[in-house]
Amino acid sequence: MNTWSILLCVAVLVYGSRFLLMEPWLPLRLSQNVQQLLTYSAPAVLTAIATPIVFFPEKQLSISIDNHYLVASIIVVLLAKLTKNTLITVVLGMLCFALLHR
Amino acid sequence: MNQAEYVQYSSGNDKVKAFIKGAIAILPISVAVIPWGILTGSLAIESGLDPLQSQGLSAIIFAGAVQLAIMGMIQAGAGIASILVSVLFITSRHFLYSMVMRSQISSLPLRWRLSLGFLLTDELFAIANPGQHPKFDRWYALGGGLFFYLGWNIATLVGIIAGEQIDDLDSLGLDFAIAATFIALIIPMIKKGSLLLCVLTATVVSIISEYLHFQPSLLIAVPVAMLVGFLYARSFEGE
């Protein structure tokens, strides 16, 4: 299969995952409980994507001061709390990481 | 299903204002993903895709984690079936997002559903989900989504150009940008105890399942964390 066909198949699948469940003709009724449960999806997913990057640099679990990803992430948490500004938080956080990681 | 409340505009001027407001809301996240976009572009070139295909990843798939995963698989000569199964796992969170957005978007005309569906990334969901904006504003969402699409594709282009010139761009730790962005998005979401518990659970379960090589850890950590947060809220926060 050539590369473009693969890219197209993947694009269709990703698009479907974003689009399909919003379609009104789909007989999908969400109970109050399910809707309540779904409010936890964003923090859960974002955390589950970030965690392996932070705790497994070089694919090895590292919970120590030598793990620059972990140290910089703690700084980012503090920055987010203190500044309440996404842009400042990310830019300063990346700077800290760059300094640590030199 | 509950009918969502909508922001209605009578004048085109107000629509433009809402559109720009959405773009401004997503601006910080767009800046934050620039390193990740550059990384995606340069790695695509490194993995043997031509420049047009590398840009195509961002232009037609428009999903960072999926892009990073499949370029490696294409390079390794993986079959289409295994590529699609892996993509299904990584993209499965979008099913959740669209289920959440269903009450807001399903009653819009088809052209809106098609375009907002295409633009529904982690980042757009983070700024436009009902927890952030109980009243759904389609122009705000479109402005945010399109601006982010543009930013992601420009960053990819920079990566493609740089990747052809700089070796070892991936050793710079650009992947930290992904983590930093997501943490900066998560922290403001933690507005009550059940949400804190949900985030902590997701962290711990991800670590455990990564450590034990339960892959993909996302599919274990996410349902467990959602359930823990939900049950805690029902028991202790009176919901």
Encode pLDDT of A57-100 as tens digits.
Answer: 888 999 999 999 999 999 999 999 999 888 889 889 989 998 99
Residue B51 sits at the chain A interface (C-beta within 8 Å): no
Q: Which residue of B has its CA nearest to A100?
A: B173
Phi, psi of B135 (to 5 degrees): -95, 120
Q: Is B5 inside a domain boundary? A: no
A78 touches chain B (CB under 8 A): no
Among B78, B138, B79, B132, CA closest to B104: B138
Whether residues B19 and B90 fall in one domain: yes
pLDDT of residue B1: 42
Q: Cβ A42–B187 below 8 Å, yes or no?
A: no
Q: Which domain holds residue B65?
A: 12-177
Q: Are B237 and B194 in contact (CB under 8 A)?
A: yes
Q: Is any Cβ of chain A less than 8 angstroms from the Cβ of B129?
A: yes
**Domain termination residue (choose one: B177, B201, B222):** B177
User: Is residue B237 in some structural domain?
Assistant: yes
d(CA B135, nearest CA chain A) in Å? 15
Cβ atoms within 10 A of the Cβ of B41, count? 31
Please give the pLDDT value at position B160. Answer: 94
* B182 belongs to a structural domain: no
Residue B1 inside a domain? The answer is no
Listed residue (B60, B59, B54, B56) closest to B41, CA to CA: B54
Indicate whether B215 and B134 sit together in one domain: no
Q: Do B180 and A23 touch (CB under 8 A)?
A: no
Answer whether A89 sits within 8 Å of B184, measured CB to CB. yes
B153 and B239 share one domain:
no
Q: Does A99 touch chain B (CB under 8 A)?
A: no
A69 and B176: CB-CB below 8 Å?
Answer: yes
Dihedral angle at the C-alpha atoms of B101, B6, B32, A4, nearest 10 degrees? 50
Among A19, A24, A76, residue whose Cα is nearest residue B106: A24
A69/B179 touch (CB, cutoff 8 Å), yes or no: yes
Q: Is residue B57 situated within a structural domain?
A: yes
Whether residue A24 lies within 8 A of chain B, CB to CB, comes out as: yes
Nearest CB to A42: which of B189, B210, B234? B189
Chain B, window 138-167: residues with a beta carbon less than 8 angstroms from a chain A beta carbon: none
What counts of helices (H) and strands (E) characterise chain B?
A: 11, 2
Domain residue extents for chain A: 27-101
What residue ranges of chain B have pLDDT lower than 50?
Answer: 1-2
pLDDT at residue number B171: 65
Any domain includes B6: no
Specify whether B93 is located in the same domain as B128.
yes
Q: Are residues B228 and B156 in the same domain?
A: no
- The mean pLDDT of chain A is 91
Q: Can you give the pLDDT at residue B126?
A: 86
Q: Tell me, yes or no, whether B119 and B210 share the same domain.
A: no
For A80, residues 6+ apart whose C-beta sits below 8 A from its C-beta are A86, A89, B183, B184, B187, B188
- Host H or E run for residue B184: helix B175-186
pLDDT given for residue B4 in this prediction: 60
User: Taking CB atoms and an 8 Å cutoff, what residues of chain B touch A18?
Assistant: 91, 94, 97-98, 117-118, 120
Domain count, chain B: 2
CB contact under 8 A, A73 and B203: no
B54 and B125 share a domain?
yes
For chain B, the first-to-last Cα distance in angstroms comes to 18
Say which DSSP state B50 is in: -
Share of chain A above pLDDT 70, in %: 100
Nearest-CB residue to B31 (from A13, A49, A87)? A87
Backbone angles phi and psi of B174, in degrees to 5:
-65, -20
Q: Are residues B121 and B238 in the same domain?
A: no
Residues B69 and B166 reside in one and the same domain: yes
Q: Say if residue B204 is in the same domain as residue B170.
A: no
Please tell me the predicted confidence (pLDDT) of residue B2.
47
Residue B2: CB atoms within 10 A of its CB come to 9
Please tell me the distance from the alpha carbon of residue B20 to that of residue B143, in angstroms, as a whole number: 6
Cα(B65)–Cα(B86) distance, integer angstroms: 11
A24 preceded by a cis bond (ω within 30 of 0) = no
Please report the pLDDT score of residue B199 as a whole number.
Answer: 97
pLDDT above 50 (res A49): yes
Residues B139 and B32 in one domain: yes
Strand partners, B66: none
Greatest distance between any 2 Cα atoms in chain B? 58
In a domain, B7, yes or no: no
Task: Tell me, yes or no, whether B115 and B198 share the same domain.
Answer: no
Three-state DSSP at B186 gives helix
> Which helix (H) or strand (E) covers residue B136, if one does?
strand B135-136
In sequence order, what DSSP letters do the residues of B75-124 get, joined into one string? HTT--HHHHHHHHHHHHHHHHHHHHHHHHHHTTS-HHHHHHHHHT--HHH
